[in-house]
Structure 1
Amino acid sequence: MAKPELYRHPTRSEIIELAVAEGHDADIPSNAGSIYQVLSRTTSPRSARRNHESEELSAAAIDKDVEKGTTPRSTSSDEEAVDSNEEDPNVVWWDGPDDPQNPMNWPNTKKWGAVCLVSAITFLTPLASSMFAPGVPQVMAAFGSTNDMLEQFMVSVYVLGFAFGPMIIAPLSEMYGRLPLYHSCNALFVIFSIAAAVASNMAQFVVFRFLMGCFGGAPLVLGGGTIADLISREQRGTAMVVWMMGPTIGPCVGPIIGGFLTVAKGWRWNFWFVAIVAGALMLASVVLMKETSVPVILERKAKRLRAETNNPNLRSKLASDLSPADLFKFSIIRPAKMLTRSTICLATSVYMAVMYAYLYILFTTFTAVFKTQYHWKGGIIGLSFMGIGLGSLAGQLTFTYFGNKIVNKHIARGDFQPEHRLYCMCVGGFCMPVGLFWYGWSVQETTHWIVPILGTGLIGFGLLMTFMPATTYLVDVFTVHAASAMAASTVLRSLFAALIPLSSSKMYQAMGYGWGNSLLGFVSLALIPIPFLFMRYGEGIRARSTVKL
């Protein structure tokens, strides 16, 4: 039996930060606890009454208006119940602040080794989304297809998997921990990468690509939570930057590797390469990675102590009473409600989805554009993706510096509002259409190849300067429900990125590269007012919100 140490309740900002990193809402226990402590499962009438009161309070929190940012007040009975939970000898917690079972107390080599391994896996799976793009013409020839729509869909169907896989992976990780999901998804990712490499027809290839995306999304869902489990807040920024390089830079680096590999070994070796690297990382994770989910670790400890002491009342301090149906509700129903009932969530998510779709329009057409307009051949075609990669990197660094500087200034003044996140988004909004006009007309007129590459660099810069502020804005607006808002945004942008590029070839055939990209630019121009409107009216929209979950 383990009597808990005195426990410092996490601050609201800590809970929000951990909930977002772990991909779930903060009323599901995280490694810092939950906003509403789960009470001891005793059979006394007094405990039963307290549990009932806590459930009523939690229900009120779930039904509250999520955009107003208000939180229900703790009642005296709730505070009494939490105190009772801290003093209850049946509650299992860490054996002191230096308990070696606590992932925060692991040796630095073990912690940072796990972070590096997760970051490597997170880099590989987005890289695989676009790596074989330069080899698409070879795939079409191998399967005897001339369907332009299939040519685009082969690349973007991977992203469609990102929309569906994580919705299942997230609740499963809550029930069984992170490690089983890492291992199982890594193994399935390797299996379907091999299956794509040996596919004998187009239908098989597309299905296997989709399943690669479904299981390849696991590190994107679980990686932030693993870092939050292991690294203190003071050092977490560095780890998160390394981890975020995967989804930001990976899709741009992939085609550069794939271009040369396709020429040297053929298109199938893009998938053999991914399978080999993923297999090596899977073996390393099996040997080196340990479970980091604190609720799961404590539940195992409680189970062991129940067997050793024959005390069935022992339970983890972070035990959750959520049923699988409740987890499904949090993962599926709540994001759908937020997307359909919140003006802020819908408008911001649509903006991000359109920008993300543009990225995959470029990914699916760069090979054809530079092959027909500039007569690039072989592995050199992969270098056409370099501009957008370098632009994305510049956008990420710029937002990190200026975004934090602006926010910190308003926090110091004491007048910070979520809308202060949007200054950088306004800049990025103008960069996107300028970059699209620049790229489209320079390709149309066949100017020197560096000119369209510079245009794509501006597109990459604008993409990150809109994407990153919009994401942090959703976190600040929806606070404890930020993970659901981000899940809604992720599903919408994945659907856009998978489906909109299907018509890009026909658009360019009908309108040319100049007017085709100008059409995309005009749409992005129409979206520019969104951050400005929220900066002006966002506070009022949140005050009048009627979004109930």
Structure 2
Amino acid sequence: MAQEARDIIMSSRSSAASPLVSLPITYNNGRNSPTPTTPDHTYQYIYLEWNSQIPENEISGLPTSIKRYTEPFAWSKSQKKWTLFLACGSTFLAALCPGAYTAGLDEMMEEWHVSRLVLLGAFSVFAVGFATAPMFLAPLSEVYGRWPVFISTLALVNVCHLGTALCTNIPGLYLGRFFVGVGTSTFSTMIGGVISDIYHTDSRSIPMSIFTTTVLSGTAIGPTIFSLIVVHLGWRWTNWFQLIINTVSFGVLWFGLKETRGDVLLRRKAMALNAWLDERERVAEEKQVMGRKVRWKVKADEAKQNLWSMTKVSLTRPFHLLFTELVVFWFSMWTAFAWGVLYLFLESIPLVFRETYAFDLIQIGLVFLALFVGAIMGNILTILMEYLIATYIPSTNIPEPERRLYASCLLSILFPIGLFWYGFSASPNNHWILPTLSTGCATIGIYSIYLAVCNYFADIYHRYASSALAAQGFSRNMMAAAFPLITDKMFLRLGFAGASGLLGGVAVLLTGVPWALVFWGGKIRARSNFAKTYWVN
């Protein structure tokens, strides 16, 4: 996984100097080894690290094409902020997709003469693609870098938006929505890896909170934007509009986003250095001037498995963690339920406000602004509470990942409160602002849950964090695929109060998960082979 490969690099940096290894060159000694001019040449191999000192006789005349490779952690603040802006901006555009689709459901039912459940099936297919794709795409980003994966998947999304805009049948719609889910998944699941590439742990909280805000706010504001488009232009224009803005985003990412994965950049630097040394030695041999023959290689490449082995690990380890690690299982259930409710809102809010208050499509779209405001408020309250915790709650010299949970222990209580409030206030006798405010309240709780799980997994699992996050990502999106299919029947059969009360009761039980870890997290980590590996060391 992404974090695991990065740890190999970090461990190699602990050495004070780069080791020299004198070996006879062969023709199959790795992808970064140069092609020898004669079989008799002997090279001195040096492990290239970001702090490696290139000898004076080699650094003279070093081309800028090599000097431009710098460690992402050492980038300037402006470069990091620009990268964060591009990454989170792309995430926001990807998060618009679910709400854009649900805004056009009524028109699609009239045009195609199918039931709402059939069209919601395409919504669920999108979530399935979103859940499964990262397990295949994550190993590709480790081998080839983040940039190629982002660019190729965004191109796939644009092709699918074009196909969906022109689609005239249900199978084509399902196929297009599945691959839209595949493509947009990278901008939700891999942006956390980009943030880890350029920010150290102690400065990662605010970038992660910004990323979480863009995920939730994009999902929330999508119905608001696209309900206006559907009313004035028709449902097909929801796809044309996304195609236009994503095409612009594609151009900006192509020219503006730099590769962030450290070992990939280091490998490219080693290859560029070796190619340059090849050319220098060729000129030196023509002048009959022979010197030391040096080649650079990357230590992480020697430990890295091939792509197929990495894919197998990517597909199996998340499920191993999910079913053997109590922390991963219960946190995945917690965040999966919260995410399922967020997607349930996309279907239940139109139902509740149409049936109870006779809202039209534009008015329903405006209700979703409450979720957007809730995501922003969640970010503000989390930052404020973390500041108060750091100021007034003393910590020991030993890192305590459970401190990450203090804010979510309090803010996540707003999740069940919002659900109870939502169901019991949705009545013709009550003003429409009451259930509207309740959705914002629940969203604050959902925000705190999502952020807490991401931060806690990264802290306690370290090199296995990618696998743990993949497990919760799969669970979260599969729940998101299931909830919209049962929303209408559940709310109509149980009533608005009964359905929301049932959801609120489950949310109350799951709210105990972070409290349990605050009190017993250390003991639970001590029993885990994966978490203990990092914390003992």
TM range (shorter): 0.7 to 0.9
Q: Is 1:277 aligned with 2:261? A: no
Q: Is 1:527 aligned with 2:505? A: no
Partner of 1:117: 86
Partner Cα separation in structure 2 for residue 488 and residue 243 of structure 1: 19
How far did residue 523 of structure 1 move?
1.2
Match of 1:392 among 355, 367, 375: 375
The one-letter code sitting in structure 1 at the alignment partner of 2:269 is K
Partner of 1:18: none
Alignment partner of 2:224: what SS?
helix
Which digits, 9 at most, give the CA deviation of each residue in 1:308-344, with x for residues without a partner? 4346853135535322133224422221111110011
How far did residue 514 of structure 1 move?
1.1
Match of 1:154 among 105, 108, 122: 122
Match of 1:131 among 100, 115, 127: 100
After TM superposition, list the pairs within 5 Å mapping 1:171-250 onto structure 2: 171-229=139-197, 239-250=207-218
Which digits, 9 at most, give the CA deviation of each residue in 1:151-201, with x for residues without a partner? 433334323222112222211011112221122111111001111111111
Partner of 2:495: 512
> Cα–Cα, structure 1 residues 313 and 103, in superposed 2: closer, same or farther, change >3 Å?
closer
* TM score, norm. by length of structure 2: 0.81
> Cα–Cα, structure 1 residues 232 and 425, in superposed 2: closer, same or farther, change >3 Å?
closer
Higher mean alpha-carbon deviation, 307-316 vs 136-145, is at: 307-316
Which digits, 9 at most, give the CA deviation of each residue in 1:499-541, with x for residues without a partner? 1321111111211111111111111122232222222222222
Higher mean alpha-carbon deviation, 393-402 vs 242-251, is at: 242-251
Higher mean alpha-carbon deviation, 132-141 vs 348-357, is at: 132-141
Partner of 1:319: 301
Q: Is 1:424 aligned with 2:393? A: no
Partner of 2:2: 24
Partner Cα separation in structure 2 for residue 476 and residue 131 of structure 1: 35
> Cα–Cα, structure 1 residues 28 and 102, in superposed 2: closer, same or farther, change >3 Å?
closer
The one-letter code sitting in structure 2 at the alignment partner of 1:390 is V
How far did residue 268 of structure 1 move?
0.9
Alignment partner of 1:414: what SS?
coil
> Cα–Cα, structure 1 residues 342 and 106, in superposed 2: closer, same or farther, change >3 Å?
closer
Q: Are 1:29 and 1:318, in contact at CA under 8 Å, matched by a contact in 2?
A: no
After TM superposition, list the pairs within 5 Å mapping 1:340-355 onto structure 2: 340-355=323-338
The one-letter code sitting in structure 2 at the alignment partner of 1:137 is D
Partner of 2:290: none
Q: Is 1:141 aligned with 2:110? A: yes
Match of 2:321 among 314, 327, 338: 338
Higher mean alpha-carbon deviation, 511-520 vs 324-333, is at: 324-333
Higher mean alpha-carbon deviation, 317-326 vs 347-356, is at: 317-326
The one-letter code sitting in structure 2 at the alignment partner of 1:458 is C
> Cα–Cα, structure 1 residues 29 and 400, in superposed 2: closer, same or farther, change >3 Å?
same
Identity percentage of aligned residues: 28
Partner Cα separation in structure 1 for residue 356 and residue 525 of structure 2: 49
Q: Is 1:102 aligned with 2:102? A: no
Q: Are 2:84 and 2:207, in contact at CA under 8 Å, matched by a contact in 1?
A: yes
The one-letter code sitting in structure 1 at the alignment partner of 2:227 is G
> Cα–Cα, structure 1 residues 162 and 480, in superposed 2: closer, same or farther, change >3 Å?
same
Partner Cα separation in structure 2 for residue 294 and residue 387 of structure 1: 39
Match of 2:425 among 426, 432, 442: 442
Partner of 1:299: 267
> Cα–Cα, structure 1 residues 508 and 116, in superposed 2: closer, same or farther, change >3 Å?
same
> Cα–Cα, structure 1 residues 245 and 537, in superposed 2: closer, same or farther, change >3 Å?
closer
After TM superposition, list the pairs within 5 Å mapping 1:48-63 onto structure 2: none
Alignment partner of 2:104: what SS?
helix
| Count of aligned pairs | 487
Match of 2:441 among 444, 458, 463: 458
Q: Are 2:127 and 2:481, in contact at CA under 8 Å, matched by a contact in 1?
A: yes
How far did residue 352 of structure 1 move?
0.8
The one-letter code sitting in structure 2 at the alignment partner of 1:291 is E
Q: Are 1:306 and 1:314, in contact at CA under 8 Å, matched by a contact in 2?
A: yes
Partner of 1:164: 132
Alignment partner of 1:364: what SS?
helix
> Cα–Cα, structure 1 residues 378 and 355, in superposed 2: closer, same or farther, change >3 Å?
closer
Partner Cα separation in structure 2 for residue 111 and residue 268 of structure 1: 37
Partner Cα separation in structure 2 for residue 42 and residue 443 of structure 1: 73
How far did residue 477 of structure 1 move?
2.4
Partner Cα separation in structure 2 for residue 235 and residue 345 of structure 1: 24
Partner of 1:53: none
The one-letter code sitting in structure 1 at the alignment partner of 2:114 is S
Which digits, 9 at most, give the CA deviation of each residue in 1:262-309, with x for residues without a partner? 101011111111110001111222233343333223322322333343
Higher mean alpha-carbon deviation, 240-249 vs 353-362, is at: 240-249
Is the radius of gyration larger for structure 1 or structure 2?
A: 2
RMSD: 3.5
Q: Are 2:221 and 2:371, in contact at CA under 8 Å, matched by a contact in 1?
A: no
The one-letter code sitting in structure 1 at the alignment partner of 2:456 is Y
Q: Are 2:12 and 2:299, in contact at CA under 8 Å, matched by a contact in 1?
A: no
Structure 2 residue runs of 5 or longer lacking an equivalent are: 25-46, 279-292
Match of 1:252 among 195, 211, 220: 220
Q: Are 1:152 and 1:364, in contact at CA under 8 Å, matched by a contact in 2?
A: no
How far did residue 432 of structure 1 move?
1.9
Partner of 1:50: none
Partner Cα separation in structure 2 for residue 39 and residue 103 of structure 1: 16
Partner Cα separation in structure 2 for residue 34 and residue 444 of structure 1: 63
Structure 1 residue runs of 5 or longer lacking an equivalent are: 1-22, 46-80
